Amino acid sequence: MPPILCRYFFVTAILLFFSMLQTVSAVDDRILMPSPPTIVATSYILEDFDSHEVIVEKNADKKLSPASLTKIMTAYVVFKEIKNGKLNLEDKVTVTENAWRMPGSRMFIEVGTQVTVENLLKGLIIQSGNDASVALAEHIAVTEENFVILMNEEAIRLKLTNTHFENSMGLPTENHYTTAKDLVTLTRALITDFPEYYAWESQKEFTYNKITQRNRNRLLWKDNTVDGVKTGHTDEAGYCMVASAKRDNMRLIAVVMGTKSESARATESQSLLNYGFRFYETHRLYQAQQSLKEIRIWKGEHEKLKLGVEKDIYITIAKRYYENLKIETKIDKRIIAPVIKGHPHGTITISLKGEVIKKTPLVALVSIAEGGIFRRLYDQLLQLINQLLE
Model pLDDT for residues 281-296, shown as the tens digit of each residue: 999 999 999 999 999 9
Residue of 43, 65, 128, 269 with catalytic role: 128
pLDDT digits (tens, 9 = 90+) for 199-245: 999 999 999 999 999 999 999 999 999 999 999 999 999 999 999 99
Residue 40 near residue 264 (C-beta atoms within 8 A): yes
- 250 three-class SS: strand
Distance separating alpha carbons of residues 190 and 80, to the nearest angstrom: 10
**pLDDT value at 379 more than 80:** no
Global model pTM greater than 0.85: yes
pLDDT digits (tens, 9 = 90+) for 309-366: 999 999 999 999 999 999 999 999 889 999 999 999 999 999 998 899 999 999 999 9
**pLDDT value at 162 more than 70:** yes
Q: How is the chain split into domains, by residue range?
A: 43-279, 287-389
Q: What is the pLDDT of residue 229?
A: 96
Distance separating alpha carbons of residues 119 and 122, to the nearest angstrom: 5
**pLDDT value at 1 more than 50:** yes
Residue of 68, 168, 202, 269 with catalytic role: 68
Q: Looking at residues 186-199, what average pLDDT do you find? A: 97
Residue 326 a catalytic site member = no
Q: What is the pLDDT of residue 372?
A: 85
**pLDDT value at 176 more than 80:** yes
Q: Looking at residues 110-136, what average pLDDT do you find? A: 97
pLDDT digits (tens, 9 = 90+) for 9-64: 444 544 454 454 444 344 455 677 789 999 999 999 999 999 999 999 999 999 99
Residue 54 near residue 45 (C-beta atoms within 8 A): yes
Q: Which CATH superfamily is domain 43-279 in?
A: DD-peptidase/beta-lactamase superfamily (3.40.710.10)
Residue 319 near residue 340 (C-beta atoms within 8 A): no
Residue of 43, 51, 65, 71 with catalytic role: 71
Distance separating alpha carbons of residues 107 and 383, to the nearest angstrom: 73
Phi, psi of 329 (to 5 degrees): -115, 130
Q: DSSP for 55-99?
A: EEEESTT--B--GGGGHHHHHHHHHHHHHTTS--TT-EEEPPHHH
**pLDDT value at 183 more than 60:** yes
Residue 247 near residue 263 (C-beta atoms within 8 A): no
Distance separating alpha carbons of residues 164 and 182, to the nearest angstrom: 11
User: Which residue, among 107, 104, 93, has the nearest Cα to 205 in the 3D structure?
Assistant: 107
Q: How confident is the model at residue 374 (pLDDT cuts 50, 70, 90)?
A: confident
Residue 263 a catalytic site member = no
- 311 three-class SS: coil
At the top level of CATH, the class of 287-389 is: mainly beta
Q: What is the pLDDT of residue 58?
A: 98
Q: What is the pLDDT of residue 345?
A: 95
Distances (CA, A) of 296 to 254, 300, 334: 46, 10, 8
User: Which residue, among 282, 274, 281, 278, has the nearest Cα to 223 in the 3D structure?
Assistant: 274
Q: Looking at residues 169-194, what average pLDDT do you find? A: 97
Q: What average pLDDT does the chain have?
A: 91
**pLDDT value at 373 more than 70:** yes
125, with CB counted inside 10 A (0-12, 13-18, 19+), is: buried
Residue 128 a catalytic site member = yes
